[in-house]
Structure formats: C-alpha cells, structure tokens
C-alpha cells in the first residue's frame, strides 16, 4: 500500500502549516504588546475573543460561500491575509488598531480552512483519512511552531519590524494564486440541498460535532493553561513552553497515524479509543509528580489529538455535496464553542484551583467515549469513498 501525497494535498498542507502558524502567534505577541502599549488583561481578553470569533465562528459562512462559488479565492488569499495582519500586530499604535488587525487576520485564517479541507478531500481518492491526516498534521505543526517563529523574528529585527514574519504567508498566497488547486467544477450548492442533507444526517453529525467540541475544549484549555500550570508546579517558563510544543507535536504525529488507521478500521473505533485512552493519561499527568508526569502529558496529547483528521473525513462522507461547509462546522465553529470555556476555566481556577478545574475538563472525555460508540461502524473508512484511486497516489 503506497502513501503518495498528491500535489494539491501537499501544497494546501503547506498553506495550512503557515495559516495555523499565524493563528498561534497572538499569545506570543501579548508580552511585547503589554510592554509597548500598556495593554491590560481585559483588553487582551477582548482581542483574544475577537480573534477567536473572526477565525473560528465565521468559518461556516466562508465554507458556504466556497461551496456556492467554486472558486479558489479563499485558499489562495488566506495565508497572505493572515500573515500580513497578524504579523503587523507589532506595528499597531493603539488598542483599536490591534482590534482591526486581529479581525482581518482572523478572516484570512477562517477563509482558508473550509475550502482547503474540501479540496484535499476531492484530491484524495480512496485514502481520504491518510490525505486528510497530512493536511491536519501540517496545521498542527504550524500551530506548535508559530510562537517560536514570531518570537525569533522579534528577537532578530525588533517588534516594530514584525511584519517581516508575513513573508512566508504572502509567498504562499502568490504560489496558490499562480499554481494552486481549484475546487472540482460541480454544480453550485443550493441552500435547500444543504439543509436537506444536514437534516438527513442530523444524528451522526450532532454526535461528531459534540465529539469535536469535547476534544477541542480539552485541547484549548491545555494550550491556554498548561504553561501556567507547569510554572505553578515549579517549572521554568522556557521549559513549560517546550512541554506545550511537545504536547502539540505529539498530537500532530498521532493525527497522521489516526488518519491512516481510520482508512483501515473506520473512524468510530479511532474516536472511541482516543477518548477512552486520553482520559487516564491526562488525569495521571495532573495528579502525578516528577518527570513521569511530563511523559504522561505528551502521550495524552498524542492520543487525544489523534482524531483531528478523522472527524472531518467522517463528516465530509455524510454531506459530500457541501464539504467546505461541513468542514467549517467541524474544524472552526466547534473549535470556537470549545474556546468559550476559557473564561469559565479562568474564573473556576481562582475559586477551586487550576488542577481541579483542569481535572473536570479532562473528565469530559468519558461522555465523549460513550458518544463515539453510537456512531455508524464503517463511517470514516477510506474504502467507502466513491472516488477511484488517482494516478498520483
């Protein structure tokens, strides 16, 4: 069995790497912006919420437009738009300029994801799980490396020249405009067709959506609070940041494997094992001391995030007429809903402590395991795809 990656998947995976690289830079910018502009914690929270809304909650709109228009404008312009406006945060003279920049940068992030995931699916032949795992892994690697990249750029050229970080994103947009893949020339999606298909598949789609919300909630809480949790337990800031990067890199690697396994065994078993397996690992990390706890954390992240490509492939198989829209609902909107827990976790941590609060969030994996068992058994298996193998594979 060969694992060759078609050029459309490879180019869009590169774009996904850069898009998610820019998406993860905001937190790394905050210490510099606080020093330069006197940015308050409240203002930082507002900016983070606006970025989440612009980059995640707006994805279904861009997905629907992509399915209607069938033009590659969203994938082509996304990396450059995100790169320019996120990288330019260091140039902002005040809070209001920052607000405009995160809205526009978030728009580039949001526009890219749905259409890119749809084109990857169309280009994947029967190995949709494997090809989607390549695409998702690219994004996760970018997300893990984004803070390191922008911090390095600022260290080299200064905060006022942070726009230099946009060069890879702009270059990728130019490449995608000239040589990038386009959606298949199928008939434009009608909203009645979309609503009809969503209603037909409402039960399994709802289960998938809830599973992504659960996984996304745990992931977002760990991304936001893991460095703080570790520093409160005696780790230095640099070492804590390294553990977070390893957590995300393990997830990216496991997501690649999860996509391959779903082609062979179906998505249901992979989702169930992910929820069931991540629960004891992450709980043990929170309640065990010493170096072994770090190993448990990284392993738990890998098991939890192994399903990132699987959810998308399963949903696309259920609604093949609207793969951009359905990808947006699973990749963006559900992620945004998970992000709404951040203020709740912050408030609860002040009351009962961060360790207990994170423990409660990890326990969400148990109902996730029960939900996964209710999915159709063969959904997500690559062999179910109607498209034949392509010569490029």
- pLDDT tens per residue across span 286-324: 999 889 999 999 999 999 988 877 877 787 777 776 677
The residue among 154, 181, 208 that closes a domain is 181
Give Cβ neighbours of residue 213 (< 8 Å, ≥ 6 apart). 334, 337, 338
Give tens-digit pLDDT for 338-378: 767 777 777 788 788 889 989 999 999 999 999 999 988 76
The residue among 181, 199, 219 that closes a domain is 181
The residue among 150, 181, 212 that closes a domain is 181
Whether residues 144 and 221 share a domain: the answer is no
Query: In whole angstroms, what is the distance from residue 206 CA to residue 70 CA?
Result: 26
Give me the pLDDT at residue 345, please: 79
Residue 392, in any domain of the structure: no
Query: In whole angstroms, what is the distance from residue 252 CA to residue 238 CA?
Result: 21
User: What is the pLDDT averaged over residues 386-390?
Assistant: 36
Whether the pLDDT of residue 51 is over 70: the answer is yes
Residue 381's pLDDT band, with cuts at 50, 70 and 90, is low
Residue 122's pLDDT band, with cuts at 50, 70 and 90, is confident
Q: Assess contact for 298 and 388: CB atoms under 8 A.
A: no
User: What would the 3-class secondary structure string for 50-104 be?
Assistant: HHHHHHHHCHHHHHHHHHHHCCCHHHHHHHHHHHHHHHHHHHCCCHHHHHHHHHH
Whether residues 96 and 195 share a domain: the answer is no
Residue 295, in any domain of the structure: yes
User: What is the pLDDT averaged over residues 259-288?
Assistant: 90
Structure tokens at 219: 């992931």
Structure tokens at 143: 């997300």
Which carries the bigger pLDDT value, residue 236 or residue 175?
175
Number of domains in the chain: 2
Give me the pLDDT at residue 63, please: 81
Which carries the bigger pLDDT value, residue 15 or residue 258?
15
């Amino acid at each position: 069995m060969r694992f060759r990656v078609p050029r459309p998947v490879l180019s869009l995976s590169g774009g996904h790497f850069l898009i998610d690289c820019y998406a993860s830079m905001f937190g790394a910018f905050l210490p510099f912006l606080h020093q330069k502009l006197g940015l308050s914690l409240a203002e930082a929270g507002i900016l983070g919420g606006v970025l989440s809304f612009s980059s995640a909650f707006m994805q279904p709109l861009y997905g629907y437009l992509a399915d209607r228009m069938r033009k590659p404008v969203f994938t082509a312009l996304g990396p450059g738009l995100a790169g320019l406006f996120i990288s330019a945060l260091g140039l902002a003279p005040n809070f209001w300029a920052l607000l405009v920049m995160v809205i526009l940068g978030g728009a580039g992030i949001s526009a890219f994801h749905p259409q890119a995931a749809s084109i990857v699916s169309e280009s994947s032949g029967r190995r949709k799980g494997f090809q989607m795992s390549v695409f998702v892994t690219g994004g996760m690697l970018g997300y893990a490396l984004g803070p390191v990249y922008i911090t390095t750029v600022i260290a080299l050229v200064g905060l006022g020249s942070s726009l230099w970080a946009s060069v890879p994103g702009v270059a990728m947009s130019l490449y995608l405009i000239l040589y990038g893949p386009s959606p298949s020339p199928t008939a434009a999606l009608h909203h009645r067709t979309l609503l009809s298909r969503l209603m037909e598949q409402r039960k399994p789609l709802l289960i998938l959506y809830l599973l992504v919300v659960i996984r996304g909630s745990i992931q977002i809480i760990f991304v936001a609070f893991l460095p703080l949790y570790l520093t409160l337990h005696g780790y230095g800031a640099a070492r804590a940041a390294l553990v977070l990067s390893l957590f995300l890199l393990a997830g990216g690697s496991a997501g690649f494997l999860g996509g391959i396994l779903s082609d062979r065994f179906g998505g249901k078993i992979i989702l169930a094992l992910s929820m069931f397996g991540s629960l004891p690992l992450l709980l043990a990390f929170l309640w065990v001391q010493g170096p072994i706890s770090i190993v448990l954390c990284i392993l738990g992240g890998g098991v939890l995030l192994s399903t990132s490509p699987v959810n998308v492939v399963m949903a696309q198989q259920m609604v093949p007429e609207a793969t951009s829209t359905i990808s947006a609902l699973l990749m963006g909107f559900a992620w945004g809903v998970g992000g709404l827990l951040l203020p709740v976790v912050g408030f609860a941590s002040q009351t009962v402590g961060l360790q207990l609060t994170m423990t409660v969030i990890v326990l969400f994996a148990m109902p996730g395991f029960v939900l996964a068992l209710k999915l159709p058994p063969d959904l997500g298996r690559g062999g179910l795809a109607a498209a034949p193998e392509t010569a490029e594979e």
